[in-house]
Copies of this chain bind each other. A is one copy, B any other.
């Protein structure tokens, strides 16, 4: 960046909004993080009847202020990028749109409803800002371990799933409607509750045979919890090797965000970064 002042305003805007390497970029991210968290708190509090009744007007005004901030941010994101479609139809582009629009729709449909709760999706936006956490180096290493563990854990969960179906069917036959095992899907639900050691207790076996079988299911669940733990432990130990260091630059041409520290050209479209 030899002459940052020579950059056109669009490029500057792109740097501030999409990246976090400059002071302005970091400041933008911190403000946005604050607004997102505030908006989530309001969504939560609005759902509590007593609180909503009392502070309805404060929530109403704050909500509109936040929505307008998000709308401006959304428009700026579209303007500042060279290829707007790459943003609009990206995962975060859709999240940004879907989490902003419900407030406008309430003008036409009104009242507390499903639309308002959709705004909780705003929380997903936090992840984009938290690309900063990459610098911690921890999340990455954890992610590598989890990615390698995924196929094994999938096989494990598949086996667990089949166990619950068979055990659920048996419990339905043994307990019947007396203990609340009214049908097979409900019995399977109970098996999942039991095997994962959650145990709500809203459904529980009452016949001696049912309790005997339940004991086996519980001990199985207690024993096999070891499997995913063992997998992750082993994978995590292997994930100790150095990971390549990514920075927060985003290509202004194609919106690609994963660039190795020190990259001069986008590895995706070949255009210059920070031109």
Contact = CB atoms under 8 A, between A and B. Distances in A.
Please provide the 8 A-B residue pairs with the shortest distance between their CB atoms, ordered closest to farther.
A198-B199, A230-B232, A200-B201, A196-B222, A120-B169, A201-B201, A230-B233, A226-B229
Contact of A123 (B146, B165, B218, B225): B165
A152 B124 contact: no
Contacts of A48: 182-185
Interface of A: 40, 43-45, 47-49, 114, 117, 120-121, 123-124, 126-127, 133, 136, 138-139, 141-142, 145-146, 149, 151-153, 155-157, 160, 162, 165-166, 169, 172-173, 182-186, 188-189, 192-202, 204, 208, 211-212, 214-215, 218-219, 221-223, 225-237, 240
14 contacts: A47-B183, A49-B183, A117-B184, A142-B152, A142-B231, A146-B227, A153-B226, A157-B219, A157-B223, A193-B214, A197-B198, A200-B200, A226-B230, A227-B232
Contacts of A204: 200, 202
A275 B34 CA distance: 54
Nearest to A187: B47
Nearest to A136: B151
B153 A223 contact: yes
Given A155-B138, A183-B48, A200-B201, A120 B166 contact: yes
Contact of A234 (B152, B172, B188, B237): B237
A123 B223 contact: no
A223 B160 CA distance: 11
A45 to B, nearest CB: 8
Given A185-B48, A202-B201, A139 B123 contact: no
Contact of A196 (B49, B145, B197, B230): B197
Contact of A236 (B189, B222, B225, B230): B230
Contacts of A200: 199-201, 204
A237 B136 CA distance: 22
Given A126-B162, A157-B219, A234-B233, A172 B142 contact: no
A156 B141 CA distance: 12
A90 B77 CA distance: 50
A196 B184 CA distance: 24
Nearest to A40: B165
A44 B229 contact: no
